[in-house]
Amino acid sequence: MKDVLKFKNVSLTYQTANDEIKAIDDLSFSVKDGEFVSIIGPSGCGKSTILSLIAGLISPTKGTIEKSNDDVGYMLQKDELFGWRTVIKNVYLPLEIKKINDKEKKEYADHLLNKYGLKKFINSYPNELSGGMRQRVALIRTLVFNPSLLLLDEPFSALDYQTRLSVCDDVYKIIKEEKKTAILVTHDISEAISMSDKIIILSKRPCSVKNVIYTHLDGDTPFFKRESKNFTVYFNKIWNELTYEKN
Amino acid sequence: MKKTNYSAERQKYLLGKKKNKIFIISCRILILIAILSLWEILATLNVIDAFITSSPSKIITTAKKLFAENNLTYHMSITLYETFMGFMISAIFGYLIALLLWWSENLRNVLEPYIVVLNSLPKIALGPIIIVWFGAGIKSIIFMTIIIGIIVSIITMLNGFIATDNNKILLLKTMGASKFQILNKLVIPSSVKTFISMLKINVGLSWIGSIMGEYLVSKAGLGYLIVYGGQVFKLDLVMTATVILCFMATVMYLIVAFIEKKISKS
């Protein structure tokens, strides 16, 4: 399978009023089409910065980033739905921004809402929905213009544990069914193992790749993968990588 | 609203709520009646000097007289016009200037000390300058109203715009939104609440501006009646104008509160 994203020796230094901060140092990795990749690392190591680089919001100081397609969908920690817009209007937002008035795209949005159990709520306002539903709407909003690459920036961290597990399953299912490539940034080891095919472990700042782990687990959903035998093996491996780092 | 099938506890709770509400409203009315009747009785019994304190009955007589002479509506409309014009202009321009300052961070930083100074300056100090520049008339009063309202409007709105959730801005940027789209789709709709509170503050400030303007320079209006009444010791006139002012300011506030309800529903 071909690479949809390739980081080649990327470094990033940014300036603040007090200091010059080296956030990323010689970072190289690639993501293949259809892969679900997690990026995990100590907090403050610049995980979110990597997503900003991929989304093109900032440019690297050194190195290159190759993307097969410019369309990326970005999902943030909170759903960030606009409270004054109905669900359907929230989902159409990216189309409005890109000034696309395409019947097909709108039908695709409607289709996704129907498929993932939100048909009844298209004219509701976000505050009438549960946390899990809101996160599903946020994902569909990201999928509307059919991005080839999804960037997930700790999208479950604002949810309570129970909702988190079920939204994890929902999001995983939607991403697999719609055949998307996804990059998940998280500091939750179990979440990374249960969702991804490949886990990139980062060192602390300035971050670079410390190790890459490919996971092979039984079970088709993140929830069942958590019960798989190998789960703890992977968990301990990643735990050690991250803990040694801190010393 | 569902009406049927309330449990006994629920009914008891609702009844208690209703009773409490009735109690509060009755207390409010009672206080008003108590103050008015005490005032009236003390004035009739000559315990207080009605020449200085006036009395509710005298206020009603004065209001009727003014109304019959067609003076009251004239004075009311003058003050209302000044207040309304001042309110509208400072709200609209305050909003637009705040937008401009949100748009350009440099402009915001450059103008910051000027806004701070203008905000702390007691605007009444500009009275003589305003009169010299705009003449002794309605124009000066409206200008006074505007300068009192506009600075606070700008500061309130700008703070509202700046408080826009950065993550939502980031989200729009990842969708490739332009600055104008961020403004249009996010900053303006998310600051509706600030806009309403700006209007509410502005209602109060506009009345301060117009009455203060009339104190300084005027030939008509409720502020004029109050100053004139004070100078010739017609306290009945002063009290009447004050009561009417209370009434008008309340109505204007209620209109804004009504708009708030309409907007927050949609």
- The CATH number of the domain where A208 resides is what? 3.40.50.300
User: In this complex, is the C-beta atom of A71 within 8 Å of any C-beta atom belonging to chain B?
Assistant: no
Shortest CA gap B168–chain A (Å): 6
Mean pLDDT score, B89-105 = 95
CA distance A124 to chain B (A): 12
| Per-residue tokens: B250 | 């309340």
Q: Does A115 touch chain B (CB under 8 A)?
A: no
- Residue A176 tokens read as 């697999």
Quote the tokens at residue A230. Answer: 């190998």
A173 and A233 in a single domain? The answer is yes
Candidates A132, A120, A47; CA nearest to A81 is A132
* Residues of chain B contacting A84 with CB distance shorter than 8 Å: 189-190, 192
**pTM for the full predicted model:** 0.83
In order along its 247 residues, chain A shows pLDDT tens digits of: 678 888 888 888 888 888 888 888 888 888 888 888 988 887 777 788 888 888 888 888 888 888 887 778 888 888 889 989 999 999 989 888 888 877 888 888 888 888 888 888 888 898 888 888 888 888 889 888 778 888 888 888 777 888 788 888 888 888 888 888 889 988 888 888 888 888 888 888 787 788 887 877 777 777 777 777 777 877 777 778 777 755 4
Domain total in chain A? 2
Q: Does B219 touch chain A (CB under 8 A)?
A: no
- The rounded distance, in Å, linking the Cα atoms of A129 and A138 is 12
B109: which chain A residues are within 8 Å (Cβ-Cβ)?
none
Same domain, B32 and B112: no
Interior/surface letters B226-256, b for 16+ CB within 10 angstroms, e for the rest? bbbbeeeebbbbbbbbbbbbeebbeebeeeb
Domain of residue B144, residue span: 59-265
Q: Tell me, yes or no, whether B222 and B116 share the same domain.
A: yes
Judgement on whether residues A39 and A160 belong to the same structural domain of the protein: yes
* Same domain assignment for residues A92 and A214: no
Task: Among A80, A97, A151, select the one facing B168 at the smallest CB separation.
Answer: A80
- CA-CA-CA-CA torsion for A130, A134, A135, A137, nearest 10 degrees? 140
- Asked whether the beta carbons of A32 and A2 are under 8 A apart, the reply is yes
Within 8 A of A140 by CB-CB distance, chain B residues are none
Question: In B, which residues are within 8 Å of A80 by CB distance?
Answer: 165, 167-168, 171
Contact A82 B168 (CB under 8 A): yes
Residues B40 and B67 in one domain: no
Residues A87 and A209 in one domain: no
* Cβ atoms of A94 and A144 closer than 8 Å: yes
- Look at residue B20 in the predicted model and tell me its pLDDT: 94
CB contact under 8 A, B181 and A97: yes
What angle separates helix B105-120 from helix B138-162, to the nearest 10 degrees? 130
Chain A residues whose CB is inside 8 A of the B192 CB are: 84
Any chain A CB within 8 A of the CB of B193? no
Give the span between the Cα atoms of B46 and B158, in whole angstroms. Answer: 55
- Supply φ then ψ for residue B150, to 5 degrees: -70, -40
Please check whether residues A16 and A31 belong to one and the same domain: yes
**Do the chains contact at A76 and B170, CB–CB below 8 Å?**
yes
- Tens of pLDDT along B24-52? 999 999 999 999 999 999 999 988 888 88
- Residue contact A78–B167, C-beta within 8 A: yes
Decide if A30 contacts A5 (C-beta within 8 A): yes
A134 & A227 share domain: no
Q: Are residues A47 and A165 in the same domain?
A: yes
Last residue of a domain, one of A129, A147, A165: A147
Higher pLDDT, A91 or B265: A91
Give A-chain residues touching B170 at CB under 8 angstroms. Answer: 57, 74, 76
Q: Does B234 touch chain A (CB under 8 A)?
A: no
Nearest to A57 among B168, B174, B189 (CB): B174
ipTM above 0.90, yes or no: no
Residues B63-72 pLDDT 10s: 888 888 878 8
Contacts of B58 (CB under 8 A, 6+ apart): B43, B50, B236, B239
Residues sharing a CB contact under 8 Å with residue A15, sequence separation 6 or more, in sequence order: A21
Question: Inter-chain contact A74–B174, Cβ cutoff 8 Å?
Answer: yes
CATH number at residue B234: 1.10.3720.10
Whether A221 and A173 have beta carbons less than 8 Å apart is answered as yes
A–B interface: beta-carbon pairs under 8 A: 40
Residue A87: give the domain boundaries: 81-147
